[in-house]
Structure 1
Amino acid sequence: MLDWAPILVGLLLFILLSPGLIFQLPGNTRTIEFGNFHTNGRAIIRSISSPAMADWGPVLVAVVLFVLLTPGLLFQLPGHNRVVEFGSMRTSGAAVIVHAVIYFAVITIFLIAIGVHVYAG
């Protein structure tokens, strides 16, 4: 039996913590900004936290995917003026949903199909 809870919680956190959707810390012009649909590298790094555990595989996969799939950092699908925009540092609600679907698919592959494990010793 597959345990989908970690993947669904990860998906929900990916959506809620996407910088610029609900809030961004630090903001571009203030310490915290709400609903501005912009992001920056500092806000993405601030969004990452990892609990202490023996198997770091799921945490590492989730963190790397969070950074790589944050809308507007490397790419945004859909973009504002094109289908795909690269490095725009802007996002939208539609882009967060599309990137969340991509995140869900890729993290499912890594954690359930492949079963990535990294043990700290």
Structure 2
Amino acid sequence: MSDWGPVFVAVVLFVLLTPGLLIQVPGRNRFVEFGNFQTSGVSILVHAIIYFALICIFLLAVGVHMYMASKTTMADWGPVLIGVVLFILLQPGLLFQIPGNNKSLEFGTMKTNGKAIAVHTLIFFALYAILILAVHVHIYTG
């Protein structure tokens, strides 16, 4: 049976930590800005670090995604690393944005909108679920 815990945690964190939706650190004019629908390379990096810390806490420390194998507990880093990479690459406005503010597809605008966040969240969910649940990408340490 598939474990949907890592998928749920990763998608929720993707939405909540998308720079410019709820919060942007650092903001364009202040250190913290709320709901400005803007982003930057630095804010994506800061939010990715926060994403990494939180997904490690939820998937590795809290144990939302832990497997028992040969009577030893093994931490699965696959969902963490895949989540962080997809979090960065799929940020609306960094590489691309669907839909854009002026076109259906825009590249490198460093801006976003509510529709783009929703579309990118669906793309994130689909890719993450495929890689974790269908392809079974796992990186065990123990």
Per the normalisation by structure 1, the TM-score is: 0.93
Which of 84, 88, 96 aligns to 1:75? It is 96
Name the aligned partner's letter for residue 77 of structure 1. I
The amino acid across from 1:41 in the alignment is G
- The runs of 5 or more residues in structure 2 that have no matched partner are 61-74
Pair 1:61-2:82 in alignment: yes
Match of 1:87 in 2: 108
Partner of 2:29: 29
1:47 matched to which residue of 2? 47
Identity, in percent, stands at 53
Q: 1:103 maps to what in 2?
A: 124
Deviation at 1:4, TM superposition (A): 1.3
Over aligned residue pairs, what C-alpha RMSD do you find? Answer: 1.4
SS of 1:98's equivalent? Answer: helix
Q: Is 1:118 matched with 2:135?
A: no
Of structures 1 and 2, the larger Rg is shown by 2
Report how many residues are paired.
121
Please give the secondary structure, in 2, of the residue aligned with 1:24. Answer: coil
The unaligned stretches of length 5 or more in structure 1 are none
TM-score between the two structures when normalised by the length of structure 2: 0.80
* 2:2 equivalent to 1:2: yes
Shift of 1:115: 1.0
